Amino acid sequence: MSIPCSIGLLPNKPPTDVGSLIEKADLDGHDFVVVPIANPSFRRVLNENNEMSPEEHAVWKDRPVFDRKDLILNSAEWSGKVLGLFSDWIQLDSPNHNIRTCSELALKQEAEWASHINLTGIIFPVLDKQVHNTARVINSISTTISPQICIRVPLLQKGAVEDNMTWKTWNRLRTLLGHSNTKVGVALELTSELPSDERLLDMWLAEPVRTLIIPAHVFVSNAKGHPVLTKPHQNFVKKLIHKLEPDIIIHPPSVELYPSATDASFSQYIQYLYRHLPEPDEIEKFASGYFDSLQMPLQPLADNLENQTYEIFEKDPIKYQQYERAVYQALLDRVEYQSDVVTTIMVVGAGRGPLVNCCLRAAEHSLRKVHIIALEKNPNAYVTLQNAKANVWGDKVTLVFADMRKWKPKEKCDILVSELLGSFGDNELSPECLDGAQKFLKDDGISIPTSYTASIAPLASSRLYNNVNAYKSLSSFETPYVVMFRQVCSLADPEDLWTFEHPNKKDIPTDENPVNNLHNERYSRADFIIQHDMIMHGIAGYFDCSLYKDITISINPETHSPGMFSWFPIFFPVHQPIQITKESMVSIHFWRLTDQQKVWYEWSVAVNNKEGEETYVSSLHNPGGRSYYVGL
């Protein structure tokens, strides 16, 4: 099994021979080396007091070309094996005008040279507290050079175990650059201490961490004298490798500290950590290639699903196992065993027949006689049902080609079964469909499912934000997407919004269709206390469903059905990333609205600080369904 990220070596001192360094690093199992672009002597324009003479300042105005001896990387020969380092003396926000000017000119010159020799990336030194001029300069060069720029960000500020001050500094720079500047990422540097609050670690999963630097002082010695990481450090590194797949940069300890260690032992150690990553579960195997990919929600009422779509979701072992359990229990509750009693089950939205098979298996296990009516409006799926009836089901199943909202049956059923749920529960119009179908059900009949609840949570993910922003339109930020989350951080646990129950005898007259759809409108507000400073990029949506009694299916993280992969969560973006301070309350307002032709969602966000003062309110997203709706 190959490691998904490259392993690099950051030497303790600048090399005198880059070619020899690369050759040795390669033998030691490193994929690349990290080397300063310029020699420390390139700082020639500043004297010992960090000052510049008028003569030197005049020379620098003309941007002198590099002298060959100024450069460590003086050739494009090694570009495929090297990551560059900007000079660490650069201070773009220095209060000294001469230092700022010198730093800016030097940075631009080094960046242009790195681009010229085709480096893929450059690491910028650790930021000062002031970053406004740094942001201006980085923004100006990031649009003109080819390498990616990674800002070196320590995980924690020295002595501040529970503070995320380094994240705040990075976030200030990122905000000044603009959240859509994808040329600038993070080179996250491990520190000896880790925050005890795991949320301060998980927040980095939502950031563009492209490299992880593991410096010498983080390593400890094991019983055999070899350098290793502590268990908490190991767990964090493995989580980053699993979720973000960053390049790993090893800054090895000195020989005096670990006399038995070699450069090879560090790359071998990272490979050891990778080999001990948890095996992917069924959901991760199914979602491979789909992580953080934006997909439009299905509209099976308006569109006929393709055969491949049915085939993919029929592979879910958990969903149909739970449906079979629900039908089995409903059959036991519906009627005592009698050899001459036949229970009528109606499967609406039968697709290619997986629910029909569930019902037949449940009947066999419960020793109950059943007759199944399978209703489907997709003409292509209906052919598959005909084949199954002819070859497998026979007279046990009656097929009906019709829209469940309009068909009028000759007889009513004992159990009504459907699988019309979307990632948000009701977003594929299950309420509207079952409103029309419940007239098929006897007065004391059982609906499977009986209820489902939509829930939401505020979410951070720079990757998802930039994926949405790539569409360059307002409508893209007012459209929900089905997404298998990976590079995300939930800012709080999900809260429930609303619930739909079936059959709905309260709002729909017996044996009739609903007068209108207003009873399926919803409004709810969910409040979340955010425990640390963070950026909110959108809203995660989930559902949990009671099929029958205590038999459930759920994609809510707190109650997720293990191994079930039929549904990914849903993601509602926000127009602009929202800055949230520690202990603020995020209030998310959500509407499910309808007219005669469509159903749509609207959402807005408000933030109150810990003193209760409103610090932010968003505009309303998707008013009137202008960007996204589900057709009735």
Binding residues for S-adenosyl-L-methionine: 310, 319-320, 376, 403-404
User: Cα(629)–Cα(598) distance, rounded to whole angstroms?
Assistant: 6
Q: Which of 189, 207, 324, 419 is catalytic?
A: 419
Q: Which residues contact 70 (CB under 8 A, 6 or more apart)?
A: 38, 39, 41, 42
Tokens of 498: 């609303």
Nearest to 247 by CA among 15, 73, 33: 33
Q: Which of 110, 324, 428, 602 is catalytic?
A: 428
Residues in binding site? 310, 319-320, 376, 403-404
User: Cα(51)–Cα(45) distance, rounded to whole angstroms?
Assistant: 8
- What radius of gyration do the chain's Cα atoms show? 30
Tokens of 551: 């038999």
Q: What torsion do the CA atoms of 190, 192, 198, 199 make, to the nearest 10 degrees?
A: -50
3-state secondary structure 410-440: CCCEEEEEECCCECCECCCCHHHHHHHHHHH
**Can 51 be counted among the known catalytic residues?**
no
Q: Are 439 and 533 spatial neighbours (Cβ–Cβ below 8 Å)?
A: no
DSSP symbols for 342-379:
EEEEEEES-TTSHHHHHHHHHHHHHT-EEEEEEEE--H
**Can 428 be counted among the known catalytic residues?**
yes
User: Cα(618)–Cα(145) distance, rounded to whole angstroms?
Assistant: 35
207, 239, 462, 594, 610 from 486: Cα distances, Å = 11, 11, 11, 32, 30
Tokens of 7: 């392993």
Tokens of 455: 């829930």
Residue 222's H or E segment, with its range, is: none
Annotated catalytic residues are 419, 428
